[in-house]
Amino acid sequence: MVVRTPPMGWNTWNTFGLQINEQLILDSARVLISSGLRDAGYEYIVMDDGWSLPQRDENGRLVPDPQKFPRGIAALADDLHAMGLKLGIYSCAGLLTCGGYPGSNSYEFVDAETFASWKIDYLKYDYCYKPQHERGDQLYQRMGMALANSGRDILLSACSWGADETHTWIKTTGAGCWRSTCDIVDTWESICRLAKQQKELQKYNGLGCFNDMDMLVVGMNGNGNVGLSGCTETQYKTHFALWAFLGSTLMIGCDIRSMSEETARILKNPGLIAINQDPCYRQPFSIGGSFNYAHGDQEDSFVWAKLLENGDIAIGMFNLSDSPRNLYFTLNDLSLPRFCGRKLELTDVWTGEVCETVDHRHCVWVDACDCRVYRAKLVKA
Ligand code: GLA
C-alpha cells in the first residue's frame, strides 16, 4: 500500500499504558466521532501494547486477553469499521514487546495472517528485545513482506525509535511511517528535544514513508502513562504546530473522553491539518531567523517554509526558548526577489484571518514557547 499523507488517529499508550480494553476503545471511538476529530482526519484507533495474553496458543497464535477483549479483536474491528474508523494493533520485532508480551520475532507470517483475519488496518511494530545477532532492517523487511502477503492492506508503522540508523534502511521495508524519535513524555523539554532532532531527519520524510515524531501529548496536562509535569496551552499549541508542519504522523495521545474544548480546537485546527496532509508533501526548508543575537543560541528558534500543492507557501516561525524572540523572514529567503513582482498575503492558521501582506520582510515578536504559522498566498505586487 502507498501511504500518501501522514497517518492520523488516536493511540492508547500515552494515557493508558498497558491498561486497555474494549470498552475504552469503543468509548474513545465514539468521542472521536462526536467531537468531530474523525471528520478532521483522525481515522485510526491504535491499540498499543497490552492487548494480548502473555502466551501464544497451541498453534503459535497470539491471543487477545479475554478479560480486556471479551469478544475478541475481529468483533471490535467490525464495530470500528462500521463507525468509519480503522483499527491499529501493536506488536514487536523482538522476542517480547516492550511491555513483556509475546513479540512477532519468528512469527511474522503467522501474526500477519492473524491480523489480516481480524481485519486489522495498521500495525505499530516496536523494537524491544531484539536478539543481538539479528538486523533491524531484516526484521522490518520480513514483517513488511508478511503484511504484503497477508491478503489485506495493513499499514506498517515502524517503531524502532530511529535506532541503528533506521533512516538509512526503513524505505526498504514497506513501512508507511517510521518512528524518528525516542519516546515522548508530557513535558516541554521532551517536545523541544524531539523537534530539534527532526531538523536533520526531514530529508528522509516524504510520501510513502513519513517520519513519526511519536504520539501527541496535547491535552494530557500531566495525566496518564507518560504524563509528567504537563505543558501549558501555548506549549501544546506549538507542539501540535511543529508536528503538523514537519509532516509527522498525528496520533492523539490524551484521554479524548475528557478533553477540554481548547484541546479539541488545537487538534482540529484545519489550517495545520491541511499543511500536514498536503498531497505533495514537500520538505520544509529553513528561512530567516532570529534577531536576538544577544541570546546567542539560534538553535532554539526556527523559521521554516514549505511549498504546498496549490501554490501557497506554509511558513512556520517557532520560538522554543524561554524568552520572547524577534523572528523574521524576507521574500529573498523565499527566492522571491522584488523583480518577481509578487508579494505574500499571510493567513494566520490559528485565527483563519488574513493578517498581513509582505512585500519585503516579515518580522514579529514571538513569545516564549510560542509560534506563528501562516499559509501564504502569492499575489501581484
Ligand atoms: C515503546 C514504544 C512506545 C510504546 C511502548 C509500549 O516504548 O516506543 O511508543 O509503544 O513501547 O510498551
- Quote the DSSP letter at residue 30: H
User: Which ligand 1 atom sits nearest the alpha carbon of residue 98?
Assistant: 12
Round to whole Å and give the CA distance between 257 and 96: 31
Round to whole Å and give the CA distance between 192 and 196: 6
The closest residue, in CA terms, to atom 11 on ligand 1 is 98
Pocket of ligand 1 (CB under 6 A): 13, 48-49, 97-99, 126, 159, 161, 183
Within 10 Å of residue 148's Cβ, how many Cβ atoms?
15
Question: CA 266, 87, 104, 13 torsion: positive or negative?
Answer: positive
User: Which ligand 1 atom sits nearest the alpha carbon of residue 214?
Assistant: 9
Mutate to test the pocket of ligand 1, among 14, 157, 183 (most ligand atoms within 8 A of CB): 183
The Å distance, Cα 141 to ligand 1 centre, comes to 20
- pLDDT for 293 equals 60
The closest residue, in CA terms, to atom 5 on ligand 1 is 98
Residue numbers of the chain with a pLDDT score lower than 70: 292-298
- pLDDT for 1 equals 87
pTM: 0.97
Mutate to test the pocket of ligand 1, among 49, 97, 225 (most ligand atoms within 8 A of CB): 49
Of 160, 116, 153, which is closest to residue 138 (Cα–Cα)?
Answer: 160
DSSP string, 313-347: EEEEEEE-SSS-EEEEEETGGGT--GGG-EEEEEE
Mutate to test the pocket of ligand 1, among 11, 89, 98 (most ligand atoms within 8 A of CB): 98
- pLDDT for 296 equals 52
Of 36, 39, 45, 48, which is closest to residue 263 (Cα–Cα)?
Answer: 36
User: Which ligand 1 atom sits nearest the alpha carbon of residue 99?
Assistant: 12
Within 10 Å of residue 203's Cβ, how many Cβ atoms?
9
The Å distance, Cα 132 to ligand 1 centre, comes to 19
- pLDDT for 295 equals 55
Residues forming the active site: 126, 183
The Å distance, Cα 244 to ligand 1 centre, comes to 21
The Å distance, Cα 225 to ligand 1 centre, comes to 11
The Å distance, Cα 6 to ligand 1 centre, comes to 19
User: Which ligand 1 atom sits nearest the alpha carbon of residue 161?
Assistant: 8
Round to whole Å and give the CA distance between 349 and 339: 28
Query: Cβ distance 271 to 301 under 8 Å?
Result: no
The Å distance, Cα 216 to ligand 1 centre, comes to 13
Whose cell is 517554509? That residue is 305
Beta bridge partners of 156: 123
